[in-house]
A and B are shown apart, each in its own frame.
Chain A
């Protein structure tokens, strides 16, 4: 595998941030599966750590808003691939499920 890669893509939030923040939660859970640094930004002035739910929420990314995701690190491609799948899933099938982290235990620290 080649060295660290940096990828950037823009998505539209297709799902409403539900009652229990599931979409944001799935994003963060998925992001945490990877080593790469994952950053999410909205507009010019708001940037969040994609691995932090608290940080992600401060973006106020409601349905229809555009977010730019940047992955950087040894598994940047895979991370972007997984997150793309997540966005694609929300776009096609508005169910609150995570196709990537499905079946995984909830992410635990340490």
Chain B
């Protein structure tokens, strides 16, 4: 048994016989071309370009069919490379200047470009040279009139092992019987890795010399999760992975069955199960999960990677897509929780290099300082109200004054829209994130001005415990089971309940299987979970008895120590 560690490129476990794809060593000889034949040589090259262009058209329709529009853009890149002067102009020039054959001129030109690419420091840009090789190989095979290797001949389920897989090879994998693939070269961001994820084929790349160490028909275990290739595994290893594979399959099946089921505990208490959304692009995934709503639409992404804040129209389009897709289910949109550093990038005056950005000008503090940003965003959100059920959530509220100021702007926008004939905006609820301890402590007052609350556990824990999770020296002190965290959560939920207001919990705690019984026992109304963990968390909720979980919380409130609370949870 040999275990080789590589780079995990696409998750999943595959087991089967190895199929080794021989490295195509294309030998290119230098041939002197007589003066009178040079024109013919250049013409031959141009014909190869045309033929390659036709190849790309074919590849494009194939990718469109099997993988969709997003991946088809890869072909655009290849077309652009094929039309690059470094190929279209440089190769004919070399043929002319050096009186050589087209194949040799091309391989010289490719070598020259590759040399500059190898010097690129950024991995993402450097990895693009595989796209260049891909196009170069297609061209060469047309010049040499060689058939490009095809994976169609693989007709038994197997694990493909190769020195390198070019994106165009990878695209063909979907229709073949390949269980997974492993390559010596490649990185996490190569197109090959991205395509493998898109096709949901387990893959490990960057295995250095694995393709020489594996022999045809060797039995292989490919662990895409951990980036491991196991050659001729021991019976124990096979048993272990078979068990893992079976378990994953069974678990997936059990989870699948939960789609669309209401999240009701064994003793009949229903919890609303929503998801957190990081970008509008995830909506399709979310719809497939059959959620009860979007509990937290993080709008920050709209403010990233740009030099001016997004316009009302652009924001409106993004929110409308979510609201319309989910209608009549609710979509809770949080106004952007961005910091001062982002502001400077957006061309607005703001503090740079704050010593402690988590306690600095961010969230609602920043949006009240630049109320035009808040107003624009609120307008964009409220305009969607006539198409579904939308709610607004304010981040980083720490005082009554902040909430009042924000509400004034909110009401002004509602009236503005009413004057414009939008009556639905008037009914939109305004909620607050409870993530700063002060908001938790004066929640009874805040609830006079807020329609609902959402507990942001990440920040709340960080502020209650004074622990910066990014700081490696104290990160271990970050503890969702600290008695102080349990107590403040309890106080927040009880206060909201006494005022008859709904409580959502978002943040990572909702996606931590160990913490779910605690949240259920606290009696929150909605759990807003990261999509990846949605069904898993629902399964936990459905396996609990609310009464038992509530007793557990009562018990936890009397304990002094995190370990004791955690033990309580594992014993449940």
Contacts and interface: CB of A to CB of B under 8 A. Distances in A.
Given A54-B84, A54-B86, A91-B307, A22 B73 contact: yes
A110 B46 contact: yes
Which of B46, B125, B311 has the most chain A CB atoms inside 10 A of its CB? Answer: B125
Interface in A29-88: 29, 32, 49, 51-55, 57-58, 60, 62-64
Interface stretch (B112-120, B364-372, B455-463): B112-120
A60 B121 contact: yes
A106 B76 contact: yes
A58 B105 CA distance: 22
Nearest to A106: B79
A40 to B, nearest CB: 14
A15 B83 contact: no
Contacts of B120: 57-58, 60
Contacts of B87: 54
A108 B80 CA distance: 8
A14 B306 contact: yes
Contact of A109 (B49, B77, B116, B122): B49
A49 B76 CA distance: 19
A23 to B, nearest CB: 10
Given A25-B77, A94-B310, A108 B83 contact: yes
B80 A106 contact: yes
A60 B125 contact: yes
B113 A54 contact: yes
A20 interface: yes
A15 to B, nearest CB: 6
Nearest to B119: A58
Nearest to A94: B306
Interface in B62-88: 70, 73-74, 76-77, 79-88
Contacts of B311: 92-93
Contact of B306 (A15, A19, A58): A15
A109 B184 CA distance: 34
B128 A14 contact: no
A15 B120 CA distance: 20
Contact of B80 (A90, A92, A107): A107
Contacts of B306: 14-15, 90-91, 94
Contacts of A60: 120-122, 125
B151 to A, nearest CB: 23
A19 B269 CA distance: 45
A53 B310 contact: no
Interface string B336-378: 0000000001000000000000000000000000000000000
Contacts of B310: 93-94
B53 interface: yes
Interface string A3-25: 00000000010111101111001
Contacts of A64: 345
Given A92-B308, A106-B80, A52 B121 contact: no
Q: Is the interface of A mostly helix, strand, loop or mixed?
A: loop
Contacts of A91: 306-308
Contacts of B33: none
Interface string B281-306: 00000000000000000000010011
A97 to B, nearest CB: 12
Contact of A29 (B80, B113, B121, B132): B80
Contacts of B74: 20
Contacts of B70: 19
A63 B125 CA distance: 13
Nearest to A53: B80
Interface in B183-224: 194
Contacts of A17: 124-125
B76 A20 contact: yes
Contacts of B73: 19-20, 22
Contacts of A12: 307
Given A16-B305, A94-B310, A53 B46 contact: no
A109 to B, nearest CB: 4
B250 to A, nearest CB: 34
A90 to B, nearest CB: 8
A16 to B, nearest CB: 5
B128 A52 contact: no
Contacts of A25: 76-77, 80
B321 to A, nearest CB: 13
Contacts of B116: 58
Contacts of B113: 54
B23 interface: no
Nearest to B50: A110
Contact of A14 (B50, B86, B124, B305): B305
A4 to B, nearest CB: 20
B500 to A, nearest CB: 41
B128 A15 contact: no
Contact of B77 (A20, A32, A58): A20
A21 B77 contact: yes
A73 B311 CA distance: 36
A20 B67 CA distance: 14
A54 B81 contact: yes
A16 B49 CA distance: 30
B314 interface: yes
A12 B305 CA distance: 11
A107 B121 CA distance: 29
Contacts of B128: 21, 57
A53 B124 CA distance: 15
Interface of A: 12, 14-17, 19-22, 25, 28-29, 32, 49, 51-55, 57-58, 60, 62-64, 90-94, 106-110
10 contacts: A22-B76, A49-B85, A52-B84, A54-B132, A57-B120, A60-B125, A92-B311, A93-B310, A109-B83, A110-B88
Listed from nearest, the 5 A-B pairs whose CB atoms lie closest are A20-B73, A109-B88, A53-B80, A14-B307, A91-B307
Given A93-B314, A110-B49, 20 more contacts: A14-B306, A19-B73, A20-B74, A20-B77, A21-B80, A22-B73, A49-B86, A52-B85, A57-B117, A58-B119, A60-B121, A62-B122, A91-B306, A94-B314, A106-B76, A106-B79, A106-B83, A107-B79, A110-B46, A110-B50
